[in-house]
Amino acid sequence: MKRFLYLNNDTLSSYMSQIEDGLIKNKIETAKKDFETEKVTKGTVQAEASVDLKILSKGAEANIDSTLETERKNKDLDSHSNSVEKIIFDETIDRFEEYLNDNHYLEGNDDIGCFIKIEEQIHIVDLEYYKHIFSNENVLNFIKNSTINERYNDRISEIKKTGNGKKAEYDSDKLLKEIKRDVDKEYIEVSNNIDAILNIIPYSKFGIMGDYLISLDEEYFRDKTKVVAFKYGGKMTCLGHLTNIIKNDVITDASNIFSSFPSLINSIMLTFFNKKEIKIIHPIAIYY
């Protein structure tokens, strides 16, 4: 059983419509319309919400029937609509993966435009959240002081190991000021880089899996977007397609000032994410 962090219903529906001639969105709207007009019966739910067994597994039919029958009795249209979509799309992603595997679409190299399935540790980056931290003086000072104290203790320990305990005590004030100056400079640089990336890239949230940078649209999260960076991590599966590879190999035209922009943007991104190469993934689904 999959637990979804992210599912792009629109992209999945588009692909399945091409593969199966099954217009998933139309089926959902039909089920919603029947519910609104109080025509939803057990037979109607099974007929419309199951979206044909050629797309969904047999287990989905029972899940939809049980869930929606309860919501029909409670006249809960919003809950009904959400449940229809979630059950349909949760089942459909399995059918889609099966199609990709059967047709060997997931066996290619990392070529732009290819489908890709990654199973790795994921780190969620929320630049708006980081920006909020850097704009909150109390939180920022707490983080900086923790960093300063950790570096200071490490340096003093290294000096004492050389047998210069008196020197460590004598130079402690000077050392503390040097570390504080360095940390202040580093955090100012990081803050400026966050602002730059937010203005360059049309996404504020990313998933990072090794050298893969996964662009995340808030619309398709299955959880509150404010908590995903804190709540989710560990090994997950990402199914999507490779849309771009960023590296410092852009050829520029010295006579055209705008031709240098792609190279500059690539350089900023590679520096910010500390990578030599970044592979951009447009995700269809991310799940445990």
pLDDT at 229: 77
- Read off the pLDDT band of 77 (50, 70, 90): very low
Q: What percent of the chain has pLDDT above 70?
A: 67
Asked if residue 260 lies in contact with residue 280, where contact means CB atoms within 8 angstroms, the answer is: no
Identify the bridge partners of residue 280 per DSSP, sorted by sequence position: 213, 244
pLDDT at 200: 81
Distance of CA 252 to the CA centre of its chain: 32
Identify the bridge partners of residue 278 per DSSP, sorted by sequence position: 246
pLDDT at 224: 83
Top mean pLDDT of 21-25, 45-49, 84-88 is at 84-88
Contacts of 94 (CB under 8 A, 6+ apart): 2, 57
Identify the bridge partners of residue 6 per DSSP, sorted by sequence position: 221, 286
CA distance 55 to 52: 6
- Read off the pLDDT band of 59 (50, 70, 90): very low
User: Averaged over 65-79, what is the pLDDT?
Assistant: 50
Element (H, E) at 286: strand 278-287
Q: What is the pTM of this model?
A: 0.68
Neighbour-count burial of 31, counting CB atoms closer than 10 A to its CB (0-12 exposed, 13-18 middle, 19+ buried): buried
Asked if residue 161 lies in contact with residue 155, where contact means CB atoms within 8 angstroms, the answer is: no
Model pLDDT for residues 252-281, shown as the tens digit of each residue: 666 666 666 667 777 777 777 778 888 999
Mean of per-residue pLDDT scores for the chain: 76
- Read off the pLDDT band of 27 (50, 70, 90): low
Amino acid at 88: I
Residue 163 has pLDDT above 90, yes or no: no
